[in-house]
Structure 1
Amino acid sequence: MSIADHELAVAAAQAGAAVVRSRYGTALPRVLKTGGDFATAADVEAEQAILGVLAEAHPDDAVVAEESGRTGTGDNGRTWLVDPLCGTLNFAARTMLASVNVALRSGPDVAVAASADPFADEVFWTDGSAAYVRGAGTDERLVPSAESTLVDLNLDPPFPNRDVFLAARMLTDEGFIEQFRPRVVSTSLAVAWVAAGRRAAYVTDRHDLRNSVHFAAGIALCQAAGCVISGLDGEPLRAGGDGLVVAADERTHTALLTLIRKQRS
Structure 2
Amino acid sequence: MTSYINHPLLKKDAIESRLYQQILAGDVLKKGNTMVVAPTALGKTIVAILVAADRLNKVKNSKVLVLAPSKPLAIQHEDSFKEFLTLPCTSITGAIKTDERVKRWEESRIICATPQTVESDLLNGRYDLGSVSLIVFDECHHGVGSYSYVYLASRYVRESKFNLILGLTASPGSDKSKINEVCKNLYIQNIVVKTEDDTDVKPYFNPVEIDWVRIKMSEELEKIKVHVNKALKIRLKALKNMGIIKTVSVGKTDVLKARGRIQGEIARTTNP
Fold match by TM threshold 0.5: no
The structure richer in strand per residue is: 1
Output the TM-score relative to the length of structure 2: 0.27
The structure that has the greater radius of gyration is 2
More helix by share: 2
Q: Which has the higher contact order (CA 8 A, sep 6+)?
A: 2
Give the TM-score of the pair, scaled to structure 1.
0.27
